[in-house]
Amino acid sequence: MNKRGFTLIEVIVAISILAIGITALIQLFSGSLKSITNSEDYTHAVLIAGQTMNEVRTNDDLKEDAYNKDVEGKYSVDVFIEQVDSDEAESTLYDLYSITIKITWRNGIRQRSFSLSTLALKKKDTIAVVS
């Protein structure tokens, strides 16, 4: 810098550096907002899957079934209930069921999903006599 001030080149270089820095900050905040939205969607999907799993497991009339329901117009919930090894379980007091909950939703143009699986026992109503 001379006594008369900054040259035009120095001002252009300073503004360019400042513009690059501001652009990087804006992109950083934008990426953070997208991550927060994705995290909220996944958290909500996990809560819906847990709630649906509890509803299925506490149902006294547990049987093989498959159904779909929509939650809040955004999440699609698929429920699959299958009896495991029903042929081998004839002599036992309990039936074993596999329960799978699959949540799908759209996030922009991408489809996201989350699955939750467990096993559940149900006491049989009658005991089969094996001779």
Counting runs of H as helices and runs of E as strands, what totals does the chain give? Answer: 1, 4
pTM over 0.85: no
Summary mean pLDDT of the chain: 85
Domain boundaries, the chain: 8-123
116 phi/psi in degrees, rounded to 5: -135, 130
The token pair that represents 80 in the structure block: 């699959």
pLDDT higher than 60, residue 2: no
